[in-house]
Structure 1
Amino acid sequence: MAFQTPVTAEEILGAIHQKQYLLPAIQREFVWNPDQIRRLFDSLMRGYPMGSFLLWKVDPETAKTYTFYDFLTHYHERDDPYANKATVPAGSGITAVLDGQQRLTALNIAIYGSHAEKKKYAWWTSPDAFPKKRLYLNLEANAEENDLGLRYDLRFLTDADAKPQDGQPDRWYRVGAVLELDNAGPALYGELTKRRLDLSTAECFQRLYDLYKAVREQKPINYYLEQTQDPNKVLDIFVRVNSGGTTLSYSDLLLSMATNQWRNLDAREEVRKLVQELNTSGSNSFSFSKDVVLKTALMVAGVDLRFQVSNFTESNMHKVEASWGTTRAALIRAVALLGTFGFNERTLTAASVVVPLAYYLARHGVSDGYVTSGADAKDRMAVRQWITRSLVKRGIWGSGLDSLLGRIRYAIDQRPGYGFPVAEIEKEMTTLGKSLSFEPTEIDELLELKYGGQRTFPVLALLYPGLDLAKQFHEDHIFPRSRFTRRKLRNAGIAEDVIDDYMKRFDLLPNLQLLGGVPNVEKQAKLPADWLGSAFATEAERVTYMKDNDLHDLPLDIPGFVEFFEQRKARMRDRLTDALGVTA
């Protein structure tokens, strides 16, 4: 590895636009925000070094066996957030950037490109939600006091926002235009004069000259050039140099290896599209990651589940590609099924639970009809109860995930015929110390869960399985939380010495229920007895609802709350004890 002669920002960006520098597939996506770009450019204009870069000289023979990407120039959060795949002419070598992609992409966007992110509160589908902005420098004044610690007033603006009002000086200078100046003397004065800026002091000239010098004269870019053609050594170097920044995900490595080794599909594009589809399709939104998708792909392909470089062999990647269609369909069905169970981005507290679910669906080749068919209702209930219990129990989806998934895969494989093998799976889980058996003390702990807690939704879903959770349900306070202020409790006739008894209970599980989104809005701050009197068409429906949700003997007003709370808590304890198979 040899240290190279420093270069200017203009020189390295020019080489990028001549396709001399490309990104290897192992690089992650561009993740910097506009403030980070502004801070980097401010540092550049102050003459600060940009740190070392690491480049890889790729010979033509090596280059033809790998996939590379161009640098992102015009970032658009919705329409164009990713770098495009590069075309490397046959017989050509290139230089790949192993360390420094974020900084170089930030410079490229600042000087050559633009940045478009969604405006706050704008609709994602609105054509005006993503204004195109470019980086501008205020030539009239330095930055005022700011959280970023900037000296120069650098801002991402639309061209319309940067345009001066009639008769006003043209103070906003697009930083990329500095490449069009012929020199650092007369050309700068001519530019300032044309903009009708005050030249009585040297400040305007100094700011523009600082920009010119930062981009075209200073040489802050130092880099090392690695010339080995051994991909394993390059991969090891890449992991080492990236360990100090944003944590390198092994899924990024797997994507790079798959991208290079898949024969017919582009692994990176396939995973990207699937992650987006899983998270945005259907009525419930989720936040599944590339890691979850790739872990499922390994599980369905029947290969080692560990995210280790030694596992990313050509043979394994071909198996993953061959089963990709099955993996994709199974994940889509699994997420749809989780939606019918009432889970979403907030209530699904362990995303990894989708992996064994998708594997089960793939292993048995179920169709889309499984999600809703009456013939599969019993099996779906078994799946739902197992998933819910695994989310309620602490420590199931944390450490030791690969071992857990491997045991679950074995249990599913060994089950002859159709049906979710709950007993077999739980037996394998127990051997890993991840038993789904519950103790009485755990029941007491669950009854102390609070509104909005990670496990609150799955516990309520477990307690009251008759709800059609395919519809949108909210966690709802039976006695409205707005009634539980000290002033309102005093006004309701609650004695001062027992107000704390009310305050410590109203946000806990026995005062919570799952209520449909529309009825919850309609209920608002009504007391439960008032709401129940108007929410049901018949007395029989009201009585059934109260029985199914342990709402016996509801008091008419707040003074009976504590007694009701304790009575419902006892009924919920009995339900949980039965549902979780706890022996008293």
Structure 2
Amino acid sequence: MLTAIHKREYLMPAIQREFVWGVDQITKLVDSLMRGYPVGSFLLWDVKPETAQSYTFYEFLTNYHERDNPYADRATVTAGSGTIAVLDGQQRLTSLNIALYGSFAEKKKYAWWNSTDAFPVKRLYLNLVDDPDEEELGLKYDLRFLTDAEASAEEGGQDKWFRVGAVLDLTNSGPAIMKELERRNIANSGDAFQRMYDLYEAVRILKPMNYFLVTDQDPDKVLEIFVRVNSGGTTLSYSDLLLSMATNQWSELDAREEVRSLVSDLNSNAGRQFSFSKDVVLKTALTIAGVDVRFKVANFTQVNMAKVETAWPQIKNALLRAATLLQQFGFNERNLTANSVIVPIAHYLHLRGAGDSYLDSTTDSTDRLVLQRWVTRSLIKRGIWGSGLDTTLTRIREALTANETTGFPVGDVEAAMSSVGKGLSFDAAEVDELLNLKYAGQRTFSVLSVLYPGLDLGKKFHEDHIFPKSRFTKKKLIGAGVDADRVNDYLDAFNLLPNLQLLAGTANIEKQDALPGDWIAAAFPSEEKRTTYLDENDLDGLPVDIAGFLTFFEQRKARVRDRLVKALGTSAVAVLAKE
């Protein structure tokens, strides 16, 4: 089947979802093949020439790259030709194709999306010498995706990592294997020969593959079969199905290509760093097109898809402007805790016909601030963008559509949210919880941006420890005069919200591990500027050394609490009045 794939005799229909398997699933599949286990049957569709020209097909991925090449290329079926379309088994076939012929590059944990070395290219290797780690339960063979450098042997050492795809170059399963083992300095290992022989048998010795061939040319019947067979495994999402159906139903545009391109633009163009998915894009499309926002098959009619295609230019522009607004609000992929918040932002911009001028005009600055505060508060409040999302988005859409003013109707929107249990008021317990947020926590940036709204967050701001983190070790604290029995209190407090602020990137770099008083004296030479900075950041009573940190911490905590009560809602004030 892989040979047929490389000859482009087997293709994927547009109703297939994107490749979603990860490295663990691929290695387990190859391990199963090497052990002689069955890997499931395949469902194929014999597409006749007269049918093939009416549908869109895609080739199989060979070199997967999470950022630069995550999607299969569109295939060309020449006029008068048919094809074999894979309805079930695409994930397995793509995985085998990558394992034998290609590579897999996914983002390293904590790396920035646009970093040049964030996506190391790796290929599948078999360890010919060692057994798999005990933690790799269920695996008989040590199979790993490694960079070529990681797999290379030290000079003169055992070359134990064999690239799985290289088995295709072996001329036989006897002398050729022994010659390869000798070259690798592991010819005396019986396990090495057996492992390579098992790989050869799994890949090179043809075994019958179970498949069922669909010959019906009625697309509705084929779609029904497709949905049924994809009800297990990595579940077919309704957004995948919508995107696939839209690809066939749009008359002028290619839905899959349009959505792919827009997702890429949203996440990485114009300095943006986000991780919006096609689900968010499609949810926004349904919202703006005025159709049911739920991902249900019954909503994916030709009439609804026509509405989405007609509105697509407006949807695209609204989303791009909404992403730019979020960037100006200081958000990125690390601190935007709910990507769904972009849906109502884009819808609002669409309804008011906002152009690019809205993003920076003085006339709209007040409205942008209202919108920013609503967005930030919704991200701080737990549970707003979680369960019941479709109901929440529908109620917000109704409030925005009914709005007759020119500005963002924050009161109406919040009333609509409250009606479905998504109110944005905060009680005293919730405010106290926020005071215990830690450095780099999910909601920490949002809370700090609410506390100090005068900052131009479109510029790069960092979360910064007022008293630097590097000063908080037992040795340094005792050396600075802190009583030994108080050291743990200092260590418990320094990483919490009352010791945090937002600081421009350049200033944060310059500050490094300086005590706040020393840095402020150097950064703000005049008394007037120092006083303004201290007032705006609640730094009154700033001690000259770290010994006074706890007193300062408690005082600032009280001031920050007061600010949060005023900024986040009225229920906290009401509770406080009773205390």
Aligned equivalent of 1:40, options 29, 37, 50: 29
Distance 1:205 1:417, change over 3 A: closer
Superposition pairs for residues 412-427 of structure 1, below 5 Å?
A: 412-427=400-415
Is contact 1:118-1:124 (8 Å) kept? no
Moved more, 560-569 or 208-217: 208-217
Choose from 534, 539, 550 the match for 1:562: 550
The alpha-carbon deviation at position 526 of structure 1 amounts to: 1.8
Q: 2:129 aligns with which of 123, 143, 158?
A: 143
1:325-381 deviation per Cα after TM superposition (whole angstroms, max 9, x unaligned): 111111111111111111111111111111100111111111112111111111101
Contact 2:460-2:504 at 8 Å conserved across structures? yes
Q: Does 1:71 align with 2:60?
A: yes
Counting matched residue pairs gives 563
Give matches, 1:405-554, under 5 Å.
405-554=393-542
Q: Is the partner of 2:495 in helix, strand or coil?
A: coil
Greater mean deviation of Cα atoms: 66-75 or 317-326? 66-75
Name the structure 1 match of 2:75. 86
SS of corresponding position for 1:97: strand
Partner of 2:92: 103
Aligned-residue RMSD, C-alpha:
3.6
Q: Which moved more, 1:236-245 or 1:463-472?
A: 236-245
- Cα separation, 1, equivalents of 2:118 and 2:371: 44
Aligned-partner SS, 2:86: strand
How far has the Cα of 1:280 moved from its partner?
1.1
Shift of 1:320: 0.7
Check conservation: 1:389, 1:436, Cα contact below 8 A.
Answer: yes
Alignment-derived partner of residue 340 in structure 1: 328
Q: Does the 8 Å CA contact 1:254/1:312 hold for their aligned counterparts?
A: yes
Q: Which residue of 2 aligns with 1:238?
A: 226
Unaligned runs of 5+ in 1: 1-11
CA distance 1:451–1:70, change in 2 (3 Å):
same
Could you give the per-residue CA deviations for residues 531-553 of structure 1, whole angstroms, max 9, x where no partner exists?
Answer: 21111132111100111111111
Q: Which amino acid aligns with 2:74?
A: K
Q: State the one-letter code of the partner of 2:94.
A: T
CA distance in 2, matches of 1:245, 1:368: 44
CA contact (8 A) 2:289 2:311 kept: yes
Q: 8 Å contact 1:164–1:171 — kept in the other structure? A: no
**Percent pairwise identity:** 58
Deviations 1:506-544 (A, max 9, x none): 222211111111111221222221121111132111100
**Which residue is equivalent to 2:313?**
325
Shift in Å, 1:42: 4.4
Alpha-carbon shift at residue 464 of structure 1 (Å): 0.9
Question: Displacement of 1:448 after TM fit?
Answer: 2.3
Selected match of 2:38 from 38, 44, 49:
49
The Cα shift of 1:36 comes to: 5.0
Provide the C-alpha distance between the structure 2 equivalents of 1:339 and 1:322, rounded to a whole number of angstroms.
28
Q: TM-score, normalised by structure 2?
A: 0.86
Shift of 1:382: 0.7
Structure 1 277/340 Cα, relative in aligned 2: closer, same or farther at 3 Å? same
Shift of 1:236: 4.3
Instruction: Kindly state the Cα deviation for residue 164 of structure 1 after the two structures are TM-superposed.
Output: 13
Q: Report the equivalent of 2:246.
A: 258
Which of 361, 364, 373 in structure 2 is aligned with 1:376? 364
Q: 1:72 is paired with a residue of what secondary structure? A: coil
Aligned amino acid, residue 401 of structure 2: D
Tell me, what secondary structure is at the counterpart of 1:22? strand
Relative distance call for 1:461 and 1:129 in structure 2 (3 A) is closer
**1:382–1:227: structure 2 CA closer, same or farther, 3 Å change rule?**
same
Give the 3 Å change call, closer, same or farther, for CA 435–41 of structure 1 in structure 2. closer
| Whole-angstrom CA distance in 2 between matches of 1:156 and 1:17 | 24
* Aligned match of 2:577: none
Change (3 A) 1:171 1:256: closer
Is the alpha carbon distance of 1:580 and 1:100 closer, same or farther for their aligned partners in structure 2, counting shifts above 3 Å?
A: same
Which residue type is aligned with residue 416 of structure 2? E
- Map residues 394-405 of structure 1 onto 2, 5 A cutoff: 394-405=382-393
- Greater Cα offset, 528-537 or 315-324: 528-537
| Greater shift in the superposed pair: 237-246 or 337-346 | 237-246
Contact residue 473 and residue 515 of structure 1 kept, 8 A: yes
Q: Distance in 1 between matches of 2:119 and 2:441?
A: 33
CA distance in 2: counterparts of 1:194 and 1:370, whole angstroms: 66
How much does 1:440 deviate? 2.7
1:98 counterpart letter in structure 2: L
Query: What letter corresponds to residue 145 of structure 1 in structure 2?
Result: D
Alpha-carbon distance change, 110 to 538 in structure 1, aligned in 2, over 3 angstroms: same
Higher RCO (C-alpha under 8 Å, 6+ residues apart): 1
Q: Residues 284 and 21 (structure 1 numbering): CA distance in 2 closer, same or farther, change over 3 Å? A: closer
CA contact (8 A) 2:153 2:159 kept: no
Is structure 2 residue 283 aligned with structure 1 residue 295?
Answer: yes
Contact 1:143/1:154 (8 A) holds in 2:
no
In the alignment, residue 71 of structure 2 is paired with which amino acid? Y
Larger CA deviation: 390-399 vs 150-159: 150-159
Q: Please give the alpha-carbon distance, in whole angstroms, between the structure 2 residues aligned to 1:127 and 1:80.
A: 15
Amino acid in the other structure paired with 2:432: D
2:489 partner letter = D
Contact 2:114–2:268, Cα closer than 8 Å, also in 1: no
Determine the C-alpha separation between the residues in 1 that align with 2:263 and 2:475.
Answer: 49
**Following TM superposition, by how much is the alpha carbon of 1:282 offset from its aligned partner in structure 2, in angstroms?**
3.1
Residue in structure 2 matching 1:214, options 202, 208, 218:
202
Q: Tell which deviates more after alignment, 227-236 or 306-315.
A: 227-236
Tell me, in whole angstroms, the C-alpha distance in 2 between the residues paired with 1:424 and 1:559: 49
Q: Aligned partners of 1:492, 1:514: CA distance in 2, in Å? A: 26
- Identify if the C-alpha distance between structure 1 residues 420 and 214 changes in structure 2 by more than 3 Å, giving closer, same or farther: same
